[in-house]
Amino acid sequence: MKKYKIIVYAISKNEEKFVDRWVNSMKEADDIYVLDTGSTDKTVEKLKELGVKVKQEKIEPWRFDTARNHSLELVPNECDICVCTDLDEVFEPGWRNELENIWNNDISRIKYNYNWSLDENNHPTVNFYSDKIHTRNEYIWTHPVHEVLTYTGHHQEKFLIDDKIVLNHYPDREKSRSGYLPLLELSVKEDPEDDRNVHYLGREYMYYGRWNDCIDTLIYHLKLKKATWKDERSASMRFIARAYQNLNRIDEAKMWLDKAIIETPYLREPYVERAILEYNQKNWSEVEKYCKEALKIINREKTYINEVFSWDHTIYDLLSISKFYQNDLQEALKYSNQALQISPNNERLIKNNNIIKDAIQKTTNYKKD
C-alpha cells in the first residue's frame, strides 16, 4: 500500500471545548493546520499544545470562502490528500487507513458518510455524503457562506464514494447563525442564478419569519433553469407551505404541499408535513391518510433534505392522536406504543399512552356495567 501525505486543515473561532476531541480524531493525519480567525478563549493555546500548526488572521470583511482558502494556503504543496473538517466534527477511527486503501492518483475528491445530526444514542438522524477530501492544488472554495469546493483542474474531476469513512457532526447549539442571512444575500447578489444558494436564502428567510420574502425567493428558486434536483425543489415547496401556514393561508399551504408530494413521491417529508398541517386543522382522517402514505416509504434517501420528524416517533404519534379522536382506542394504543418504542423517555408520549389506556379501561368498565 502506497504511503500518502495526508493533511487536515480547518478554520476556528472560540472552539476551545471541541479542541481535545477534534485533535484526537484528526491525529491519524500527518499534520494538522488551523487558521484561527479571532478566538478570544483558549482555542489557539490548546491547539498549539497538542501540536497543531496554527496561524491567526482576521478576515475582514468576513466570508467563509476566503477563510477556507486562507486555511488551505497553509497546507504544503507536496500534500497528496487534503482533509477539510470543522472542530465540531469527529471521524470514526481508522479513516486514514481506509483513505489510503482506496486512493489512487486518478482521484481528485472523495465522497464519504457525513452524519450531520445524531440522536442521544449517537444514531444518525440526518445522513448524507460530504466531499471535503480532495487533492491539494486543484480546488478553491467559493461562496461567502455555505461555501463549496470548486474544481479548477484541467482534467475531468473524478469522485470516489466510500461508505467506510464516517464523519460525525456534534454542533454547538448555542452558536449564533446571525451572520448567515447577510452573507446569503451577498452570495445570491454575486450569482443570482446559483440555485443552491437561492434555496438556502429562502430557507433562511423562513427561519427569520420573513414569510413573504421566503415565498418570493423560493418561487424564484423553482423557476431557475439550474433548479433541477427534485429533493431540493420539494423542500422549497414545503418551506413555501410553511410560510403560507404562518400567514394563515391554509389552502395555499395545502396546494404547495401537494406540489411537493408530486415532485418527490419517494420522500416522506411532504406527506408528514401535510399530516402535521391536517393535525393543526383537526382533520383526523386526513392525518391518518398522509401518515400511512408516509409509512409506505421505507428507504431513506441519503440527502441533507431529510427531516428528523420523518423518521423519529412523529408519524406514530400523529397516528395515535388521530385514532384517539376517531374513537379507535385500540389502534391509538398500538401506534402510541410504537412511538414509545422509538422515544421511550418522551414524557408527552408517556402521558398520552396513559390517557389512552385509561380511556380503554373506562370503556371496558362501562361495557361490564
pLDDT in tens, 177-228: 778 999 999 999 999 999 999 999 999 999 999 999 999 999 999 999 999 9
- Residue 173's pLDDT band, with cuts at 50, 70 and 90, is confident
H or E stretch covering 148: strand 148-151
Q: Band of the pLDDT at 369, cuts 50, 70, 90? A: low
The answer on 182 and 123 residing in a single domain is no
Please state the φ and ψ torsions of residue 128, each to the nearest 5 degrees: -155, 180
pLDDT(300) > 60: yes
Mean pLDDT of 266-291: 98
Same domain, 121 and 185: no
Burial class of 223 by CB neighbour count within 10 A (0 to 12, 13 to 18, 19+)? exposed
Contacts of 225 (CB under 8 A, 6+ apart): 193
Q: What is the mean pLDDT of residues 162-179?
A: 88
Do 290 and 328 fall into the same domain?
A: no
> Rounded distance, CA 188 to CA 143, Å?
9
Same domain assignment for residues 94 and 155: yes
Q: Are 198 and 224 in contact (CB under 8 A)?
A: yes
Task: Assess whether pLDDT exceeds 70 at residue 366.
Answer: no
Structure confidence at residue 368 (pLDDT) = 59
Where among 248, 272, 296 does a domain terminate? 296
Give CA–CA dist 169/125, Å, rounded. 11
Query: What pLDDT sits at residue 278?
Result: 98
User: Strands 81-84, 6-12: parallel, antiparallel or unpaired by DSSP?
Assistant: parallel
- CA pair distance 368, 53, nearest whole angstrom: 77
Q: So what's the pLDDT on residue 367?
A: 63
Q: What is the CATH number of the domain that holds 203?
A: 1.25.40.10
Residue 364: the pLDDT is 76
The total domain count for the chain is: 3
Task: Kindly give, in sequence order, each residue whose CB lies less than 8 Å from that of residue 223, ignoring residues fewer than 6 positions away.
Answer: none
pLDDT: is 302 or 141 the higher one?
141
Specify whether 21 is located in the same domain as 53: yes
pLDDT > 90? residue 47: yes
347 Cβ neighbours under 8 A, 6+ residues apart: none
Check residue 250 and give its pLDDT.
98
Q: Predicted confidence band at 2 (pLDDT cuts at 50, 70, 90)? A: low
> Which domain covers residue 343, as residue numbers?
312-369
Q: What is the pLDDT of residues 90-139, one digit of tens each?
A: 999 999 999 999 999 899 999 999 999 998 888 888 999 999 999 999 99
Rg (CA), the chain: 24
How much is the pTM? Answer: 0.92
